[in-house]
Amino acid sequence: MLTYEQVKTKPEVLCAMTSLYAPEFEKLATVFGQMWEQYREAHPTTAQPRQRQRGGGRKATLATPEDKLLFILFYLKTYPLQEVFAFLFGMAQSTACTWLHELSAVLQLTLAELEQIPQRLPPPPSAAAEPPPSKVVALASNTPQELALDGTERRRQRPKDSNKQTEYYSGKKHAHTVKNNVLAGVTDKHIYYLSETYVGKTQDKRICDEEPLQYAPNTILYQDKGFQGHAPAAVIVQQPQKKPRGCALPAEEQIRNALISRIRIVIENIIASIKRCRIVKDVFRNTKAGFDDLVMELACGLHNFRTAERARTT
pLDDT given at position 136: 76
Does 231 fall in a domain? Answer: yes
Same domain, 151 and 100: no
Same domain, 106 and 181: no
Does 294 fall in a domain? Answer: no
Same domain, 241 and 141: yes
C-alpha span between 168 and 42 (Å, rounded): 36
Over residues 211-229, the mean pLDDT reads 92
Same domain, 155 and 84: no
Does 295 fall in a domain? Answer: no
Same domain, 88 and 168: no
Q: How far is CA 17 from the centre of its chain?
A: 18
pLDDT digits (tens, 9 = 90+) for 12-25: 999 999 999 999 99
pLDDT given at position 43: 84
Instruction: Examine the pLDDT at 134 and tell me if it is beyond 80.
Output: no
pTM tops 0.95, yes or no: no
Does 167 fall in a domain? Answer: yes
pLDDT given at position 242: 87
Same domain, 265 and 176: yes
Burial class (CB in 10 A: 0-12, 13-18, 19+), 203: middle
Same domain, 106 and 173: no
Instruction: Examine the pLDDT at 129 and tell me if it is beyond 90.
Output: no
pLDDT given at position 200: 92
Same domain, 266 and 142: yes
Instruction: Examine the pLDDT at 57 and tell me if it is beyond 60.
Output: no
Three-class DSSP labels, the chain: CCCHHHHCCCHHHHHHHHCCCHHHHHHHHHHHHHHHHHHHHHCCCCCCCCCCCCCCCCCCCCCCHHHHHHHHHHHHHHCCCHHHHHHHCCCCHHHHHHHHHHHHHHHHHHHHHCCCCCECCCCCCCCCCCCCCCCCEECCCCCCCEEEEEEEEEEECCCCCHHHHHHHEECCCCEEEEEEEEEEECCCCCEEEECCCEECCCCHHHHHHHCCEECCCCEEEECCHHHCCCCCCCEEEECCCCCCCCCCCCHHHHHHHHHHHHHHHHHHHHHHHHCCCHHHCCCECCCCCCHHHHHHHHHHHHHHHHHHHHHHCC
Lowest mean pLDDT among 46-50, 159-163, 173-177: 46-50
Specify the higher pLDDT residue, 233 or 294: 294
Same domain, 142 and 281: yes
Does 35 fall in a domain? Answer: yes
C-alpha span between 203 and 208 (Å, rounded): 9
pLDDT digits (tens, 9 = 90+) for 248-305: 888 999 999 999 999 999 999 999 999 999 999 999 999 999 999 999 999 999 999 9
Question: What is the residue-averaged pLDDT of the chain?
Answer: 90
Q: How confident is the model at residue 142 (pLDDT cuts 50, 70, 90)?
A: confident
> For the chain, what is the domain count?
2
C-alpha span between 124 and 6 (Å, rounded): 45
Same domain, 39 and 104: yes
Q: How confident is the model at residue 121 (pLDDT cuts 50, 70, 90)?
A: confident
Same domain, 106 and 39: yes
Does 148 fall in a domain? Answer: yes
> Distances in Å between the alpha carbon of 118 and those of 161, 183, 184?
32, 9, 9
Instruction: Examine the pLDDT at 125 and tell me if it is beyond 90.
Output: no
**Structural domain range at position 34:** 4-49+56-113
Backbone dihedral angles phi then psi of residue 116, each to the nearest 5 degrees: -110, -5
Does 132 fall in a domain? Answer: no
pLDDT digits (tens, 9 = 90+) for 167-193: 999 988 889 999 999 999 999 999 999
Same domain, 109 and 142: no
Does 94 fall in a domain? Answer: yes
pLDDT given at position 54: 62
